[in-house]
Amino acid sequence: MQNLHQLITTNPRQCGGRPCIRGMRIRVADILNLLAAGLTTEQVLAELPDLEALDVQAALQYAAQRLDYPRLAA
């Protein structure tokens, strides 16, 4: 299976350096916002037809990994 993290790209000249899907101008945040608004994966794919199901999965995986870090309590 393809490493889903490889589907996420960042380019300082595109979308302000925010993480995007496969070099397109579709940001990870765009996908997460649609999912948070209650859209299903199928609805997200219909809304953004350049995406594939693995792109949505990659966005979720990316977000989960970015949030999973230890916090030290003082």
Tens place of pLDDT per residue across the chain (74 aa): 457 778 999 999 999 999 999 999 999 999 999 999 999 999 999 999 999 999 999 999 999 988 887 878 87
Q: What pTM was estimated for this model as a whole? A: 0.86
Among all chains, which residue has been given the structure tokens 């990659």?
A: 58
pLDDT for res 74:
76
Extract the tokens encoding 71. Answer: 């916090």
pLDDT for res 1:
42
Q: Looking at the domain covering 4-67, what would its CATH class be? A: mainly alpha
pLDDT for res 39:
98
Q: Which residues contact 38 (CB under 8 A, 6 or more apart)?
A: none
